[in-house]
Structure 1
Amino acid sequence: MGTGLKITAFAAALAATFGAAYGVGRGVDPIMERPNGHAAHAEPAGRGGAARDGHAAHGEAVGAAEPPGGLQIAEGGYALDLKTPRLEAGRAAEIRFAVTGRDGRPVTAFKSEHGKELHLVLASDDLAVYRHLHPVRAADGTWSVPAELPEAGGYRVFADFTPDDTKGAEKLVLGADLAVSGTYAPKDLPAPTATVQVEDGYAVSLAGDLTPGRAAELKLSVTKDGRPVTDLEPYLGAYGHLVALRAGDLAYLHVHPNEGGPGPVVSFGATVPSAGTYRLFLDFQHGGKVRTAGFTVAAGGHLAA
C-alpha cells in the first residue's frame, strides 16, 4: 500500500447546507425528501442529479464537475442493477444485484482489490445504520449477500469495484436506493467526539484536522479495556478500512490506511474540498472479529489534540 493515500472521490464542492424532511410513524414504504448535491431544480431521481437511466437530470449544469462517488447509478458505461429494491426491517433477507456493462449485460470480470472483486456498503439516510458487506458472484454475474437491517427508512447501496475489461475501465462507486419498510423513526447525527466506545471493551480515538482543500492525516488509535491494541489483525489485506459518507447526499469514499504496523494507531491521508459534516466508519479486526467505529466530523473544524 502506498504512503499518503488521499481521499480523492469528493470531486464536487459542497455548495449548500443539506436537509431532509422526515416523517415519523408507521408505513409500509417510508417516503421522504431526498437531498442531492446539485442545483435545487434537479430532479430527485438520483442523489447526484443523474436520472436512473444514467442520463443527465433536468437542471444539471452542463460541464459541471464529476460528482462524488456513489451519487450515480450509472457511470462510464456501467450501471448498478439492484434486483432487491425493498426489504423489511428486522427480517433477514438476501440482497441481489448485478453490474451491467456497456453492452447491457451483467459484468463477470472484475479486478480484485484487497482480496475481493467488489465491496458492498449499505447506509441509512440518517447514517445511523452502516454495513460493509462482501457478496458472492454467481457465474451469470448476479451478486447476492444476506443482510438484516434493523431500522426502517431509506438506505443507499454502494457497489465499489473495478471492471476488468480491455478498455481500461477505472475504479467506480455506483449507488442505488433501497427502501426498508417498518416503523420509521429517523435519528439525529451523533455529536462530534474524539473517542467512541465500541463493543467488547474496545474504544477508538480520532486525532487530526480536516481542512477543506488541504491534505491531512487522520490517526485512529484502538484500545481495549483502556490498553493500546498492538496486535490488530489484517482485514482484507490491511489493518483498517475507512469509509467516509457526507451527511445529506451520502457522497461516498472508501480508502485504506497509510503504511504502518498492527496498531494501536492506523492512519489515513485525507483531502476534502469543502466544509461539511461527514460520518467516518473505521472497520478493524482483532480477536478474529471485525468491529466498526463511527465518527461524526465537521470538515474545517479541529477534531482532537
Structure 2
Amino acid sequence: MNAAGRLAAYAAGLVVVFGGSYAVASAVVPADAVAQWREDAAAARHDPAAHDPATDHPAEDTAAASTDEPGLAGLSLAADGHVLSPVRAPGAVGQPGTLSFQVLDPAGTPVTDYAIAHEEDLHLIVVRSDGAGFRHVHPALDPATGTWSIPWTWEAAGTHRVFADFTPAGAAGGLTLTRTVQVAGDVTPSSPPLSAVSEVDGFTVTATGDLTAGRSGELDLTVTREGEPVTTLEPYLGAYGHLVALREGDLAYLHVHAEGEAPAAGRTAGPTTTFAVQVPTAGRYLLYLDFQVEGRVRTASFVLEAAAAGSTTDAADAPGTSAPTAGAPETHAPETHADGSGDAHAH
C-alpha cells in the first residue's frame, strides 16, 4: 500500500475509535491506551497530538515539552520521565460525568504510590485558558489501576487546562503536569482587568506587595469582612491560605513559597498571609487564593502586573501590587496572624 493509502486507512481507523469512545467517558483508562502511553513515554515523553477519547473534540496539548525558566512548571505533560495520560471528561457544558486520568512512571506503568503533600496525595487544578472557572479539587485514586477520578460537570465551554500537582513516593521533589481539554459549547471569552482586590461571599481580600521579574518579593493577602480584619482564618490543607499563580498567556504554573511554619491543629489566624514570590518575566499573572472561614473554603482571584527587572518604575507603583484598587476599604490591621505566625501555603 502506498503512503497515501496508509494515511487514509489510518484516518478511517481514527474515526472509528474516537467516534465510539464518547460513551465510556467515566470508565477507567483502558489497557490498550496504557500500552500506547507506555510506548510514547519510552520514546519521547511528549505527545503533542494526543486526543481525549472521552470527548467529541481532541484534547489538544499545546503546552511546551519543557521550560528553562526557573520556578515555573505546568508547561508540559511530561517531566522527569513521568507522563500525564490523556484526560477523560464529559465533552460538553452541563453534562454530568467523570473526569479521570493516570500518571505514568518512567517505565510507562501507572503510579499508585504517592507522597502526601499539604494533606493530599494529589492536587488537581482546572482553569480555562482565559483564567475563568478556576477549580482546585482532590480526586480519588483507584490503587488497583492508578486511575484518579472525580465527578465532573463543565460550567463553561472552551479550552481548559488541567494541572496535576503531586509527588511520587520516593521522589526528590514534586511535579506539575498538564493537559489541555476542549469543551464543546458557545464560548464567551473573559478578559479580567488588573485587580488587587477580590470580593467573595461578603469577604474582601486585598493583595499588596512587590512583584518584579527576576527578584524575590513578598505578597501579602489580607482578608476583611465589612471593613473589619478577619482573624478567624482556619487551617486548610495544612496552612492558613493556599495560593495558585498562573502566568497570563501560557498559564505557566508558578511555584510560590509560603512564609512561616505549618499551623497548629485547631488554631485560627489572620487577617494577613504572606507569600514569597519570584516571577520570571514581566507581565500579568492570575492568582487564586483559597482560604477557609467557619468550615467553608472560598476562592479569591486577582490579576496582578509584574514590573520588568531594572524598570525605572518603582515596583511599589506597579498596578495591582502595592495598593488596593480604588474604592476598596482600607485596613490598618497588623501583618502578623492572631497566633503570631505568618503561616500559609502556596504553589
Tell me the TM-score range normalised by the shorter chain: 0.7 to 0.9
The residue number in structure 2 matching 1:225 is 226
Equivalent residue runs for 1:268-287 within 5 Å: 268-287=275-294
Deviation, structure 1 residue 239: 0.3
Deviations 1:47-75 (A, max 9, x none): 22x2xxxxx8xxxxxxx726831110011
Contact residue 241 and residue 290 of structure 2 kept, 8 A: yes
Q: Which runs of 5+ in 2 are unaligned?
A: 1-54, 262-267, 308-317, 324-347
Q: 1:29: how far off? A: 6.2
2:273 pairs with 1:266: yes
Decide whether aligned partners of structure 1 residues 120 and 147 sit closer, same or farther in structure 2, where only a CA change above 3 A counts: same
> 1:146 and 2:151 equivalent?
yes
Aligned to 1:82: 86
Closer/same/farther in 2, CA of residues 283 and 175 from structure 1, 3 Å limit:
same
Higher relative contact order (CA 8 A, sep 6+): 1
Question: Which residue pairs with 2:174 in the alignment?
Answer: 171
Task: Determine the C-alpha separation between the residues in 2 that align with 1:192 and 1:125.
Answer: 17
| Conserved 8 A contact 2:61-2:180 | no
Residue 246 and residue 70 in structure 1: after superposition, are their counterparts in 2 closer, same or farther (change >3 A)?
A: same
- Does 224-233 or 152-161 show the bigger shift? 224-233
Q: Which residue of 2 aligns with 1:291?
A: 298
Query: Which one has the largest radius of gyration?
Result: 2
Counterpart residue identity of residue 244, structure 1:
A
Determine helix, strand or coil for the equivalent of 1:283: strand
Pairwise mapping of residues 204-219 of structure 1 onto structure 2 (< 5 A)? 204-219=205-220
Match of 1:193 in 2: 195
Give yes or no for contact 1:79–1:100 (8 Å, CA) kept in 2: yes
Corresponding residue for residue 41 of structure 2:
none
Q: Equivalences for 1:1-305 in 2 at 5 Å?
A: 45-48=61-64, 50=65, 65=68, 68-84=72-88, 86-140=90-144, 141-165=146-170, 168-188=171-191, 190-199=192-201, 201-255=202-256, 257-259=258-260, 262-300=269-307, 301-302=318-319, 303-305=321-323
User: Would you say how many aligned residue pairs link Structure 1 and Structure 2?
Assistant: 250
1:271-298 Cα offsets, whole Å, 9 max, x none, are: 1122021100000000111000000011
- What whole-Å deviation, never above 9, does each CA across 1:178-231 have from its counterpart, x for those lacking one? 11111111111x2112321112x1110111120111111000000122221101
- 1:90 aligned counterpart, secondary structure: coil
Write the distance in 2 (CA, Å) between the matches of 1:186 and 1:243. Answer: 21
Q: CA RMSD in A?
A: 2.3
CA distance in 2, matches of 1:221, 1:45: 36
What is the rounded CA distance, in whole Å, between the counterparts of 1:209 and 1:170 in structure 2?
27
Q: TM-score, normalised by structure 1?
A: 0.76
Where does the alignment leave 5 or more consecutive residues of structure 1 unmatched?
Answer: 1-27, 35-43, 51-55, 57-63
Query: Over residues 5-35 of structure 1, what are the superposed CA-to-partner deviations in whole Å (9 max), with x where a residue is unaligned?
Result: xxxxxxxxxxxxxxxxxxxxxxx9689xx9x
Taking every aligned residue pair, what percent have the same amino acid on both sides?
45
Which one has a larger percent helix, Structure 1 or Structure 2? 2
